[in-house]
Structure 1
Amino acid sequence: MRPRVSVVIPVYNEGDAIMPCMERILRDVLLPAEILLVHDTPDDTTVPYAQKLAMADPRVRPVLNTYGRGPANAIRFGIDAALAPVTVVTMADGCDDPRQIDGLARLVERGVVVAAASRYMPGGQQVGGPRLKRLMSRWAGLSLYHFTRVGTRDATNSFKAYHTDFVRQVGIESRAGFEIGLELTAKAARARMPVAELPTIWLDRQLGESHFDLGRFLPSYLRWYRFAFGRRLTMEQLAARRVRVEAAEQPVPSVALETTS
C-alpha cells in the first residue's frame, strides 16, 4: 500500500535515545505511513537502532543521505526520497507531539501546501529551551504572521507537513540547518499558496543533546525572514530559482589543456 504520509526525521548520533521517540511515532501515527530515518554516515550511532526498528516494523526506512552533511541536506534528501504525496518533517529529539502528524497531513490533503504545528497560536505552548531562542522565534513568527500574512504564527518551527510536489517544484535552497521550515513557509506566502496551522505543545528534549547552534544558523533564518516580505512570485518563478540554485551547485567540468612539444 502506498503511504499517505512520509515522515522525515533527520538523525545525528542519537544512539538509543531514538527509541522512545520512535515508539511514540509508531504508536500515534495511524495513517498509512513510512518513517524515514535519514543519517549522514553509515557509522552514525543511530543506524543500528534504526535497522532494528525496520526489522520489526516495515514502516521504518533507514536512508543514507548523499546530499552532504547537516540537517538541511538530510531533510532535502528525505523529501526527495519520500513516496507519499504528503511529507511531515519532525525532529528526533522527541520535542514534537507525534499525535499531530495525522492532523497536519490531513490539512495538506485538504488543499494547503504547508501545515504548521504552531507554538504561538491559541492553545499552543513552548516548554523549556533557551530563553533567547524562544524570544527570537516567537517574535519572528508573530511579526511574519501580522505583516506578511504567511498563514502561521510559527513559521520557524521545523515540525510541519508539506505537499511533496510543492516542495519538489519550488525546491529547497537551505544548506545550513533547520531553517527549511521558514524557507518553505516564506515561499508559499510569496506564491500566495495556502498555509494553515494547528496548535502544538513543544517540550524541550529529555534525552540526548541538542545539535541546534543559534549563532551558526541565525544568518540563514534572517535571509528567509527578509525573503517573506517580498513581492508576489509565481510558482514558475520559484521553480526557476530552484533551477538556478541547482545549476550553480554543479561542479565546473575540468578542461584538459593540450600541450605541444
Structure 2
Amino acid sequence: MTVTPRISVVIPVYNEGEAIIRCMERILREVMLPSEILLVHDMPEDTTVPYARQIAESHPQVRPVLNTYGRGPANAIRFGIDAARAPVTVVTMADGCDDPRQIDDLARLVERGVVVAAASRYMPGGQQVGGPRLKRMMSRWAGRTLYAFTRVGTRDATNSFKAYDTGFVRAVGIESRTGFEIGLELTAKAGRLRLPVAEIPTIWLDRQLGESHFDLGRFLPSYLRWYRFAYGRRLTMEQIAKRRPAQPEPEAVSASSVPASLS
C-alpha cells in the first residue's frame, strides 16, 4: 500500500558521489513521519546518481530526480519543490551540516499553521560551529537585523534548512536563480505578506561530507536583494504574484491548487 507522504524532503546534490550514502543513512534513520526524499541533480552523469539509485532500490521513498530548470542549487530547489507530493516541503543539504533529527519538528510547525519554519543558528540554544568567519558574521548580522526591524519571525533568515507550506511556495513563486538565497527570499515574502514564520534552535556544523560549492562573492548580490526586499509595507498575494515570470518554464511539474488560507 502506498503511503501519502506528509513531508517532501528536497536535497539538491552536485557530484556528492559515495558521500550521499552517509547523508541518506542519517536522514532515513531520523525522519519518522511519512516522507518522500527527492535527490535533485542537474545532469544524468552526476556522480551522486548511481548511489542514489542504489539507495532507492531498498528505500522506495527515495526519488532521484533530474532538474530541468537549469543548473545550480536555486534551480534544483525550485524543481524539487514543484515535484513535491507532500503538503510540507523541507529543504536540507547533502553536506552533513544540518541535523536531520529536526526535520520532523520543522514539518510539524508548518502543519500547525506557519508557512515557514526555520532551523535557527542564532536564537537561544542555537549554534554555528565552523565555516568561513566573514560568512558567519554577515549571516548573523542579517538575521538579527531582520528579526529586530522587520519582525520576520526568525533570527536566521539566511539558513537554507527550512520547512515550507508547499502551497505557499507555489503561490508566491521562487524568483532566485543562482545560489542558496531561496530561504531568505521565501522568508522575506512571508514577512511582507504578514504570514506566520517560526523557528527552532539548531546546531549547524561546517560541512562534514565532500567539498563546499558556496561562493560568497557570486551569491552576495542576490542575498542583498532579498534582504532589502524584506523591508517594506505589507503586500497582498496578488501583488507578490505579479512579480513572477509571465511565462511558465519548460518541463515544469504541475503544481497542486493553492490552499484557501493563502488565496
TMscore range, shorter length:
over 0.9
Q: In structure 2, what is the equivalent of residue 247 of structure 1?
A: 247
Alpha-carbon distance in structure 2 between the residues aligned to 1:246 and 1:28:
40
Equivalent residue number for residue 48 of structure 1: 50
Q: Is the 8 A contact 2:44 2:66 kept in 1?
A: yes
TM-superposed CA distance for 1:54, in Å, is 0.4
Map residues 1-261 of structure 1 onto 2, 5 A cutoff.
1-242=3-244, 245-247=245-247
Cα deviation, residue 157, structure 1: 0.1
**Separation in 2, partners of 1:198, 1:8:** 19
Letter in 1 for 2:83: A
Cα displacement (A) at 1:246: 3.9
TM (norm. structure 1) is 0.93
- Deviation at 1:168? 0.1
Q: Which runs of 5+ in 1 are unaligned?
A: 251-261
How has the CA–CA distance of structure 1 residues 165 and 15 changed in structure 2, closer, same or farther, with 3 Å as cutoff?
same
Query: C-alpha distance in 1, partners of 2:239/2:65?
Result: 31
Partner amino acid, structure 2, of 1:50:
A
Percent of aligned pairs with the same amino acid: 84
Name the aligned partner's letter for residue 243 of structure 2.
R
Contact 2:69 2:249 in 1 (8 A): no
2:247 counterpart SS class: helix
How far the C-alpha of 1:236 sits from its partner, in A, is: 1.6
Secondary structure, aligned partner of 1:247: coil
- Give the secondary structure class of the aligned counterpart of 1:15: coil
Query: Which residue identity lines up with residue 198 of structure 2 in the other structure?
Result: A
Deviation at 1:249, TM superposition (A): 7.1
Report Cα offsets for 1:34-54 as digits up to 9, x if no partner.
000000000000000000010
Q: Distance in 1 between matches of 2:21 and 2:125?
A: 28
What is the CA deviation profile of residues 72-103 of structure 1, one whole-angstrom value per residue up to 9, with x for unaligned ones?
00000000000000000000101000000000
Q: What TM-score, normalized to structure 2? A: 0.93
> Displacement of 1:19 after TM fit?
1.1
Which amino acid counterpart does residue 247 of structure 2 have in structure 1?
A
Q: Which stretch of the first structure deviates more once superposed, 230-239 or 118-127?
A: 230-239
The aligned counterpart of 2:255 is none
**2:150, 2:231 within 8 Å by CA — same for their partners in 1?**
yes
Number of residue-to-residue matches in the alignment? 248
**Partner in structure 2 of residue 256 of structure 1:** none
Whichever of the two has the greater Rg, that structure is 1
Q: CA deviation at 1:169?
A: 0.3
Q: CA 1:246–1:36 in 2, change beyond 3 Å: closer, same or farther?
A: farther
